A and B are shown apart, each in its own frame.
Chain A
């Protein structure tokens, strides 16, 4: 079964962004440019946080609007990104209602989750986890 990243309990999130740093570090780099997960406050830190992850849709809108097939539908849901085909048009970013198609400013291309779960291994508060995709219960 394919996997996807899920937000298990957003109220437990402290906004440490350790997950975001993990995602870029999976490539051996520091910083955040290559992170496919984003955490921000829900309109001010006193109101808590929003954790934005790709939820691996069965029929992903980001793939539908891509004019060059740089995003293809993965078996079982979610997308695969083919950087060499991407022309940087930003359509996918605008199409995802969750804002989970993030933008890599350094490359001028979207930053798309590969569902590896590296970030979840570092979340100190079990906010996120890698799960099997089960679209019936979505």
Chain B
């Protein structure tokens, strides 16, 4: 590693005392690379055992990695915290300009401790940290407003990130997100609620330093090789063209697209909500995270007439991806694209995680159908699949919480079902609501066992789909081994904060070449060992905070709705989870 590598600098901010300081932590980045690897080490240091996720003891940690600002597609920031949603590991990743801004402000990580006694936002410009009054921003109806106010008020346009929460975060909905650059999110596991608990409305970070490398010529060569692979090969094509919504139709075709709270795997309205239809009839703009030539962010332009004012329209520009489409589309039976997009917009306005919000609405709909709740609980709303207007109204109520029922729903379906029943169709896994796949056992084992309970942990859906295609039968042992192997390697990628969509651009050798040119000596074996170590640490953190693999709840619905990779049962899933626990935990 280069002497004076700015990545080694960790910015500490104490919200309680309103102070900040910088510490040099070379060992953190030498041993953990950055991102997830540095983040989990900081979380171990900062988060006391049993800390209240919504108390001042819970830290917020942001970490980036050595490739940021130097190579394309190293564009993510890893956030680490204790999750108020699951009560254990909180880890969420976002792009936008967050990673480049942190790194080029001169930091490898930012640690936020304590809590403010009044609403504030932070402005970080290089080493200067300002604590600004956010009381006027607190309670604004829309998260968009916070973005536009700070955009005008604060410096650094073009080389800054503006992370902010909506009212969902303020009111500590356990799946509130943090929005960055309008279209990217620290979506999962409730970072927004942790911000809210600290009365931290937003963070602006601006920086545009330069970065020295070990060998300038080798650096430019390594850069060109990666850039060429990213722009000229087929590797990024899917994301470059239709984007992630390319998944909708193929998943529907094999019966793996969760529909009506996973009562089915096929959706009659799949054509309408497909990437193809959205691109043809709604796509209005394409945008990219900083230093990403792929530009996978697709914005739909939705023109909405004012009902009582003829010849007046507004045009929404909404980011869409596979997961939001699944969560607000097929899961809720919304095949009316306008309704689906308006619901996504409401979720954005409130600042909720879209997957958890969609699954919560789907569960509530079924709970009402089954009579577990009545319109008294729903504050008079007749929730029904296919009814966008009612879902929009219910989304607001999840944040406003006018009844005990919404207050329960604001803590996720696991919690709500533990009070009102309907656990068999409460689609949360390890406490986190399901992503948009029902491909077979591997996807469910993957997000039950995976450290973040996320489809991006280990991509079980891909194992299922391959098995379904080849007509192979999956075994618990085979599934567990493949998931753990994938999840371990992904720890390396997320420590380097490489966008997971670019996982095939950054193979082992490419990663080693890229790092060597800038002065980090690594070997493929070393990287793999690090990946295993990071996963082990994450699992250990979860266990310390009370998580158990045996205690995972399996919603029966996943065994009832046919999956493309064939039928599977609870026994299969339990065995695979047990093997995952052994392999990811200590057995190597």
Contacts and interface: CB of A to CB of B under 8 A. Distances in A.
Interface of A: 14-18, 21, 24-25, 27-35, 38-41, 43-46, 48, 105-106, 122, 124-125
A124 B293 contact: yes
Interface string B208-243: 111111001101100100010001000000000000
A106 B106 CA distance: 12
A25 B223 contact: yes
Nearest to B223: A25
B344 to A, nearest CB: 14
A122 to B, nearest CB: 7
Contacts of B210: 24, 29-34, 106
B502 to A, nearest CB: 13
12 contacts: A15-B287, A16-B291, A17-B291, A18-B292, A25-B219, A29-B216, A30-B212, A31-B103, A45-B182, A105-B208, A122-B227, A122-B293
Contacts of A33: 208-210
B346 to A, nearest CB: 16
B128 to A, nearest CB: 12
B211 A39 contact: no
Contacts of B288: 14-16
A29 B285 contact: no
A34 B299 CA distance: 32
Contacts of B219: 25, 28, 30
Interface stretch (B48-56, B151-159, B425-433, B536-544): B151-159
Contact of A18 (B69, B72, B103, B209): B72
Contacts of B227: 122
A31 B103 CA distance: 9
A49 B581 CA distance: 47
Given A16-B292, A28-B219, A33-B208, 10 more contacts: A14-B288, A21-B72, A25-B223, A29-B210, A31-B210, A32-B104, A33-B210, A40-B158, A44-B148, A45-B183
Nearest to B67: A30
The interface residues of chain A, by DSSP majority, are classed as: loop
Given A28-B216, A30-B211, A124-B231, A44 B291 contact: no
A27 B151 CA distance: 31
Interface string B47-84: 00000000000000000000001101000000000000
B382 to A, nearest CB: 33
Listed residue (A18, A28, A31, A125) with the most chain B CB atoms within 10 angstroms of its CB: A31
Interface string B279-306: 0000001111111110100010000000
B317 interface: yes
A31 B69 contact: yes
> Which of A29, A35, A125 has the most B CB atoms < 10 Å from its CB?
A29
Nearest to A24: B210
Contacts of B148: 43-44
Contacts of A24: 210
Contacts of B72: 18, 21
A109 to B, nearest CB: 13
Contacts of B183: 45-46
Interface in B154-203: 157-159, 181-183
Given A18-B72, A41-B157, A44-B148, A28 B220 contact: yes
A29 B220 CA distance: 9
Contacts of A46: 182-183, 285, 299, 317
B287 A45 contact: yes
B434 interface: no
Interface in B76-130: 100, 103-104, 126
A32 B159 contact: yes
Contact of B211 (A29, A38, A44): A29
Contacts of A40: 157-159
B287 A32 contact: no
B216 A31 contact: no
B208 A48 contact: no
B409 interface: no
B518 interface: yes
B293 A18 contact: yes
A39 B213 CA distance: 24
B182 A16 contact: no
Nearest to A12: B286
A20 B212 CA distance: 16
A45 B292 contact: no
Contacts of A125: 295
- 8 smallest A-B Cβ distances: which pairs? A28-B216, A40-B158, A30-B211, A30-B70, A33-B210, A16-B288, A46-B317, A14-B295
Interface in B286-341: 286-293, 295, 299, 317
B147 interface: yes
Contacts of B292: 16, 18
Nearest to B227: A122
A90 to B, nearest CB: 15
Contacts of B69: 21, 30-32
A25 B219 CA distance: 9
